[in-house]
Each structure stands twice: as structure tokens, then as C-alpha cells.
Amino acid sequence: MTSINNSFKTKREEIEYYALELLNAEKEFSRSEIKNHVNERSGKEFTEGSFASALRKLVNNNPRVISLKRGYYQLTKNEQFHKDNFDNMTVATLKRFILDINKLAHNINPLYVTEKQQKIFDILKCEIEHLNNSVKKVDKVIQEEINPSEQLD
């Protein structure tokens, strides 16, 4: 597949365009997945420096593009989500922890779980429950509308 738009003024603009095209799926993509998509859609091979610079600028200039862990990028639905928005970053970070903990289990064959691994799974299960409760609590705090008359105490 080749480029559908040859009117890009800069390499950065072209890289950002195709990166956003992929990120519109609102899923997390690795840096290499984004680079492969950009190269395939543009029909070009961009230098590592051009690609790295364009991704960095995309994250810094587009408040909806986030990188919660090194080398992975995602486009968020929430236009208020920005790296400087503590509330949303807190919820996103807690959810990232939950996903990462769940991924650990995929590396273990359930037929061969040792006693030690089962103990660890039990601990992780409790931690996931705790993190889910924390997400709910933080969401509730974020959603609460403070009545100005209550602040006068």
C-alpha cells in the first residue's frame, strides 16, 4: 500500500499523519508497530532520528497521544487527558498496573503451577481487586462536583 497523500511538507508531518492513522484504533501500539505502519502506508523508510523525533513531538504536542510506558503509544478518547492532568494520569496508571499484572499469568501454564506460584497469584489477585477499588475511588473523586457552599466551612 502506498501513500494516499503526497502533499506533506515535512517528514515529521508525514510520520505523524500515518502514526495517528494507526493510533485512531484507540489501542496501545508498540513503537515498532507504528514504524511498520508508517513505512508501509508511506512507501518510504524513514531514518531512526526522523521517526523518533516525530513520535516525541506527537506525544508532546497532541494531548490525546500518551505513552504510559516506554516504547508504547495510545490515542485516548478523552480530550481532557494530558500528561499534565494528574487525575486522568492516576486512573490510567492504575489501569496499566492491572493490565500488566494480568499479563503475568499468560506466561504460566495452569497445569504446572507450583505452590509458590499459586501463593503469588493469590497475592496478585488481591492486588488487582485493590487496584480496581482504587480506580473506582479515584473516578468518584474526579466525578464529584464540589458544591461551592460546602467549601465555606
pTM > 0.85 = no
- Three-state helix/strand/coil letters over 5-57: CCCCCCHHHHHHHHHHHHHCCCCCEEHHHHHHHHHHHHCCCCCHHHHHHHHHH
Q: What is the pLDDT of residues 41-79, one digit of tens each?
A: 999 999 999 999 999 898 888 877 888 778 888 887 655
CATH code, 11-75 = 1.10.10
Tell me the pLDDT band of 12, cut-offs 50, 70 and 90.
Answer: very high
User: Domain residue spans in the chain?
Assistant: 11-75, 86-144
Tell me the pLDDT band of 149, cut-offs 50, 70 and 90.
Answer: very low
